[in-house]
Amino acid sequence: MAKESKAPKVLKYRLSLVDDDTHRLIWKLHFRRGGLYIAAISCVVGLICGAFALISLTPLKTFIPGYPDATSRMIAQQNAMTADSLKNVIYRWEFYSENLRKIVEGADPVMIDSLVNARKAEILTAEAAGDLHKKDSILRANVMEAEQFSLGSSTRKLPIEGIHFFPPLKGVISQSYEEAIHPYVDITAPANSVVMAALDGTVVSAGWSDDTGWSIAIQHDNDIISIYRHNERLMVNTGARVSAGTPIAIVGGTGTLSTGEHLHFELWYKGEAVDPAKYINF
C-alpha cells in the first residue's frame, strides 16, 4: 500500500468580532501569517508617508529647527532686491564718472548700447553690425537735427529710446501694458519695498486719491512724465526736485481700485501713454 504524500501545512488565522451577550458573529476576517506581515508593513509605510506629507505640505514645517519661516524668507528677498538696487546705483555712477573723465580728456563718451552688448557677450554678424551702425547713424542725425537750433539751451532733447531709466521697483509684472484697457503696468513686490524715481525730475503732484490712494507724478525732461500709484506712504512733497533712483514712496495697496500690494506705474511721452516694459528692466 503506497504512502500518501503530505503537503506542508499552511497556518491560517481568523479575526472575529462577536457579540458578548448573544455570541452572534458580527464580522470575521481570515488571513495567513504572510498577509499579516504585509498588512503591518503597509500600515507603517502609510503612516510614514502621511507624516511626511503633513509636514512638507502644511505650515508645520516651520516648526522644524533650522527651517526658514516666512519672515526670514521675506527679509532675504528684500535684502537681495536692495543689493540689486545698490548694484544698479553703483553701475550708474561708474558709467557717469567714466563718461565725465572721457569728456574732460576730449575723448568720445562711452555709449550705453556698447556696454549692454559687451555684458551680453553677443557675437554679431557683419550684416547685423551694419544694421546697428545704420540705426546709430540715424539716431545721431536726429539728435543733431534737434539740437542745431537750440544752441543756447542746456536741456538735451533725446528720443525716449536713447534714455536710460532707473527701475522704480524691483519685482514681478503682474499685469502688462495694454493700450486700450490697461495703459500701464502693475508690479508686485514684498511689503515695505522702496519705490524710486525713474529719472531726474520735479514732483508735480503728490497726494491722496480715493481711487488710487497715495500717488506721485514726476515731470522729467524730454516731455516725459512718470506716475506711481497705490503707495503705502509718500517720501516726497509736491515741488521737490528728485534724481533717478531717489526713494520717493513705500509700495502699498491703498485706494479702492487696488486689490493688493503693488505699484501702478505709468509712463507718458509727449502726451501719450507708452509701455514702460519696453524701456525699463523691472
Give the SS3 label for residue 25.
strand
| Nearest CA among 47, 256, 74, 275 for reference residue 161 | 275
Comparing 172 with 86, the larger pLDDT belongs to: 172
Which residues fall within 8 angstroms of residue 265, CB to CB, at 6 or more apart?
Answer: 168, 169, 184, 185, 186, 187, 226, 227, 228, 229, 276
Pick the CATH number of 166-278 from 3.40.50.11720, 3.40.50.1970, 2.70.70.10, 1.10.3720.10: 2.70.70.10
Q: Report the pLDDT value the prediction gives residue 194, as an integer from 0 to 100.
A: 94
Rounded alpha-carbon distances, angstroms, from residue 68 to 63, 73, 83: 9, 6, 20
Mean pLDDT, the chain, whole residue set: 80
Domain ranges, ordered by start, for the chain: 12-56, 71-136, 166-278
- The answer to whether the pTM exceeds 0.75 is no
Comparing 270 with 61, the larger pLDDT belongs to: 270
Q: Report the pLDDT value the prediction gives residue 151, as an integer from 0 to 100.
A: 47
For 5-31, the pLDDT digits (tens) are 555 666 677 778 888 788 788 888 777
For 114-135, the pLDDT digits (tens) are 554 555 544 445 455 566 666 6
Tell me the Cα Rg of the chain. Answer: 34
Rounded to an integer, the average pLDDT of 191-200 is 93
H or E element at residue 268: strand 263-269
